[in-house]
A and B are shown apart, each in its own frame.
Chain A
Amino acid sequence: MTATALTLVHDKVTQGLRIALAGNPNCGKSSLFNALTGAHQHVANYPGVTVEEKRGRTKLDGLNAEITDLPGTYSLSSFSPEERVAEAELATHPDVVVVVADSTQLKRNLVLLVQVLQAGANPVLCLNMADEAAAAGQRLDVAKMEALLGFPVVETVGHRGEGVSALKAAILKAAKQPLIKHRLVLGVEFERALTVIARELPTEEDARAHEWVALKLLVGDPTHTARIATRKGGQGVIATALAERARLETLSGLEIAVYTAERCFGFVDGLLREVSLHPARANARELTDKIDAVIVHPLLGVPIFAAAMYLTFWLTFSVGEYPMGWIETAVAALGSWVTSLWQAGSESPLRSLLVDGIIAGVGGVLVFLPNILLLFFGLAFMEDTGYMARAAFITDRVMHRFGLHGKSFIPMLTGFGCSIPGIMATRTLENERDRLTTMLVLPLMSCGARLPIWMLLVPAFFPAPWRAPAMFGIYALGIGLAMLLALVVRRTVLRGAEAPFVMELPPYRLPTLKAVVRKMTERSWLYLKKAGTVILGISILMWVLTAYPKPESFKVDRDIAAGTLTVSDDTTLTNLRAAEALEQSFAGRVGKTLEPVFAPLGFDWKIVTAMIGAFAAKEVFVAQMGIVYAMGNVEEAGADDLRQTLTRHYSPWVGLSMMVFLLIGTPCMATFAVTRRESGSNKWALLQFFGLTTLAYLLALVVYQLGSLLSA
């Protein structure tokens, strides 16, 4: 070890090494990241984008190291947020950049290595999936590869953790002896162009990134060009880059992007020819082909897909019911336990906050955890086996009609169960615009929590023969509007050139249980942690809204005292008091204040108040209606009374208008919180909330007004 290397190591002992993992999607990067960092991980979103930011810690021979898992990208072309994030991370010059490559797809995978080198990184090449490559008969001269490239090259089997210690050693070695100058050979003319441009770059530009910026200017990257243009002397270098581009294009007869790609692939080709000891057999992927012949068969494909979906949802919602019941019981038990800490009949606000606010609110969200875990288990399994891409292949034709993506299908289907896992499942969509569009319209899928509402309202307002069609109609309306809205969103707020669909269909792989469970818990934990904090806040707010201000005295009591009212039993009295309390509360007052606004929809203050409650969770609407009509907390048994009351009080048109409004408007607070988290900004959550509510208002208005006209 040289003296400088020693000082470097000394510095890094105190500061820690910064390591980044780069690689194509599906190269096994997450598996390696997990193998390297173990449980020490932190997952978040990059600010303002839907891209996931994963960091973890590990020790390398006693040295602290922070590992960043860059988003999987095919290149650093900066056309997608993932690529921009990866590029930005590389621009911070991590001490070592591990380029993970799928050994069975080296040609394409190594093109990313070329770009990472151009970006001035100090790399280690990790040839992952070495087991598959070996099984296919491919053999590489790794030592020669290392000699040719001038930096460490290791073979690994990511999901089994094989070669990880060698990888760690290689990372350390690279950190101690950083690569000074890469040995890419991309052709005299190409290199000369880069040198000529780099020479003219403004002096304040990061010296290590000169070649990279030169390359970006050469290919006319808008971000870099705009940035350089504002610098002193920037115009000059941009003109030079233009001239060089023209020169290379005339010389090669190829457009610059094609020429650049050709140079990179050429280098990789040459390298692979040098180091290949034995090529992979031509029929190495037969098994995948055989499976695909069935899975995406023109006739069998759709039934198989339907069966897979059915299985997933059965797992999620049927099997999930049991633990859901347990959680409900546990939450209820916790509630009564906390209640028992106070004297019976105590009106302690703290008790009410704890029981009715926090435990009820957070419990209501916690209840979905089993669903979420199971669903994410199913999704992670489909993703890791490679089926997800096939499912997208099958559904894309329909989804694309509406400006969505094949991969939007599963999240939207999930939305029928619950919007929250649906929104979280949009993570499988790589493209930001596709992902946001799916997220925004997803609450229109009538979720499980809305089912109790339909169960209450449909029999109340529809004669028996019309009930089934009404149910069907409400679901169909949701789907239809979601599709329509997706189209609208794509033409307005998320307008822009369509992102390429071009999707790789990875070979089928048997995922390890560990990997699937890990993915599942990771996402579920995110749901609990981030959504949880917001939901806790909103729960408390909702509690305050419905519980305060408390009436000084109850009119019921005064009426009884005055003898104008007789109440037969205690329950009725409690119910009447609860109804009054709600009427007096902020929610009730807001409901009354908003009554004129909602009158054109046929709603009175009672409905509006109940709808405010529905923001906490959709099914709360039923309970709140029960309370305003002094029927207590409506459970299944009491529903019939409430139904009759509703039939008496409202016309069917009000009923329909209510259903339309509840289907479309005011996504619940958990949806709001998760959309905010997953989209990385308040903007989209607010847009979703107000957009859908406005639409709901307008449609309910049309329904009620038309209905009133017809029946008049």
Chain B
Amino acid sequence: MITAASSLVPANISSSLEDYLETIYLLVQQQGFARVKEIAHAREVKAASVSVALRRLAELDLVRYERREYIALTEQGEEAARKVLTRHRLLTRFFEEVLQMPADAASNQACAMEHSLTDEAMDRFVRFFEYLGSCPTVIESFRRCPLSLAPDKAAARKDSNCATCRAHSKVETMSLADLRPGQHGVVEHINAKGALRQRLLDMGMLPQTPIELERAGLGGDPLWIRCQGARLALRRAEASSIAIRQLP
């Protein structure tokens, strides 16, 4: 995991120095070494400016000279560079994937933002983004949600999955107990606790698993469902802890 709050990088390092680190890191990754000439070329600056920056970085113990002209990152330097790079990539992806901006605009925005975030803000942002990334349904439902789009397109798409949409369209979240015999759905998540939760998981009621209510007992309880190829009986109260999305 990326720990942006890492104390390895001196706090006072300037944004341009960070850019240098990033460049050196990428060059080393690509060709195994970095020289002043190439750094200057990549950053579109004069060789002299590069030397100044390098001296400063060396003082901070972030780079060292292998041989004349050949520059390598120290362990700390590499760590710092990776961090900068990660921030950059993360921000780019955020603008591009979540906010759906064009690729180059996203990258520019990321460049502009990456140095101005404090470590703490960045750390929190990283966590948030990791969460989004790990749970694609969140991003998907955000994209589908009318609020994420220009108002004119919004009306066309509604999603029962998102609280805002629900407020707009008055579609309640469903549980398995809300199905009528013969209706199908897909498991969204399980709200049960403890033994019940474990048993449901053991039965394979994982998110995105198709599930069907076949029949109900006399008086509507218990329910007879089909899931993962097996027939199961569960009480209504238990079934209502299984949030589902109904399928037509």
Question: Which residues on A are within 8 Å of B, measured CB to CB?
Answer: 74-75, 77, 79-80, 104-105, 107-108, 111, 247, 250-254, 257-258, 261-262, 265, 288, 292, 296, 298, 301-302, 389, 392-394, 396-397, 400, 406, 497, 499-505
The binding surface of chain B is classed by DSSP as mixed
Are the C-beta atoms of A258 and B130 separated by less than 8 Å?
no
Q: Which of B130, B199, B206, B229 lies in contact with A502, CB distance below 8 A?
A: B199
User: B206: which A residues are within 8 A, CB to CB?
Assistant: 258, 261-262, 265
Question: Is B230's CB under 8 angstroms from A108's CB?
Answer: yes
Number of residues from B at the complex interface, CB < 8 A: 38
**With contact pairs A253-B135, A302-B218 given, residues A502 and B194 touching in the complex (Cβ less than 8 Å):** no
Q: A79-B194, A105-B230, A253-B138 are in contact. Are A505 and B224 (CB under 8 A)?
A: yes
What is the bound-complex CA distance between A104 and B228, given in angstroms? 11
Alpha-carbon gap, A367 to B203, bound state (A): 44
Chain A residue at minimal CB-CB distance from B227: A108
Question: Which of B28-36, B66-74, B98-106, B233-241 contacts its partner?
Answer: B233-241
A108 to B209, CA, bound (A): 13
A77, B233: Cβ atoms under 8 Å? Answer: no
Contact B222 A396 (CB under 8 A): yes
B231 at interface (Cβ–Cβ under 8 A)? yes
Closest residue of chain B to A75, judged by CB? B202
Q: How far, in Å, is B142 (CB) from chain A's closest CB?
A: 14
Nearest-CB distance from A118 to chain B (Å)?
A: 15
Are A79 and B199 neighbours in the complex by a CB distance under 8 Å?
yes
Which of chain B's residues have a CB closer than 8 A to the CB of A394?
A: 217-218
Establish whether residues A74 and B203, one from each chain, have CB atoms under 8 Å apart when the complex forms.
Answer: yes
Q: Are B215 and A296 in contact (CB under 8 A)?
A: yes
* Sample of 25 A–B contacts (CB below 8 Å): A74-B199, A74-B203, A107-B229, A111-B202, A250-B127, A251-B1, A251-B130, A253-B135, A258-B206, A258-B207, A296-B217, A298-B218, A396-B221, A396-B222, A396-B235, A397-B219, A400-B235, A500-B196, A500-B200, A500-B238, A501-B222, A502-B196, A502-B234, A503-B234, A505-B231
For residue B10, CB closer than 8 A to chain A, the reply is: no
A-side binding surface: helix, strand, loop or mixed? helix
Contacts of A501 in B (CB 8 A): 222, 233-235, 238
Instruction: Give the docked Cα–Cα distance between A80 and B199 (Å).
Output: 10
Most buried by B among A107, A108, A302, A392: A108
Closest chain B CB from A612 CB (angstroms): 44
Contact partner of B233 (CB less than 8 A), chosen from A250, A252, A497, A503, is: A503
The answer to whether B201 has its CB under 8 Å from any CB of chain A is yes
The complex places the Cα of A397 from the Cα of B221 at a distance, in Å, of 6
Known: A79-B198, A505-B232; 13 extra A-B contacts, CB below 8 A, are: A108-B203, A251-B130, A253-B138, A254-B135, A265-B204, A301-B218, A397-B218, A500-B195, A500-B199, A502-B232, A504-B231, A505-B230, A505-B233
Given the known inter-chain contacts A265-B204, A505-B224, please indicate yes or no for A393 contacting B233, CB distance below 8 A. Answer: yes
- A-B residue pairs, 5 tightest by C-beta: A253-B135, A74-B202, A79-B195, A505-B231, A261-B201
* Chain B residues with CB under 8 A of A254: 135, 207
Distance between Cα atoms of A75 and B194 in the complex (Å): 14
> B158 at interface (Cβ–Cβ under 8 A)?
no
Chain B residue nearest in CB terms to A392: B233
Does B190 sit within 8 A of A, measured CB to CB?
yes
In the bound complex, what is the Cα–Cα distance between A253 and B207 (angstroms)? 12
Expressed in whole angstroms, the Cα–Cα distance for A356 and B203 within the complex equals 56
Interface membership of chain B positions 58-72, coded 1 if the CB is closer than 8 angstroms to chain A and 0 otherwise: 000000000000000
In B152-167, which residues have CB < 8 Å from any A CB?
A: none
